[in-house]
Amino acid sequence: MKALTIKIPPDLEQDLLQLSEQAHMSKSELVRRALMSFIAQRKSATSFVSALDQAGDLVGCFKGSPPDLSSNPEYLKGFGSV
């Protein structure tokens, strides 16, 4: 195993020491487990997926619609306050 040196504030060191005694394991083992848990959470966290990413295969698949459907306010008459 490789060694890693970190600096922590006194109150965190005190909490670590107390938990180490309660759990009957070394401070190193507690830090290793906490770090592994943190990394596993980050790996499993879902990243942002845009609507285009999710429905990208639908873009441009409809034929016969007006080319300015998304930008011409004329098509929005009767919807809301436009």
**Mean pLDDT to the nearest integer, 51-75:** 83
Q: What is the pTM of this model?
A: 0.54
> What pLDDT does residue 82 have?
44
Reported as a single tens digit per residue, the pLDDT across 4-44 is 999 999 999 999 999 999 999 999 999 999 999 999 888 87
Reported as a single tens digit per residue, the pLDDT across 46-60 is 777 888 888 888 877
Give the single-character DSSP code of 74. G
> What pLDDT does residue 81 have?
62
Domains of the chain, by residue range, sit at 10-76
Do residues 44 and 37 touch, judged by C-beta distance below 8 A? Answer: no
Q: How is residue 22 written in tokens?
A: 């309660």
φ, ψ (nearest 5 deg) of residue 65: -85, 160
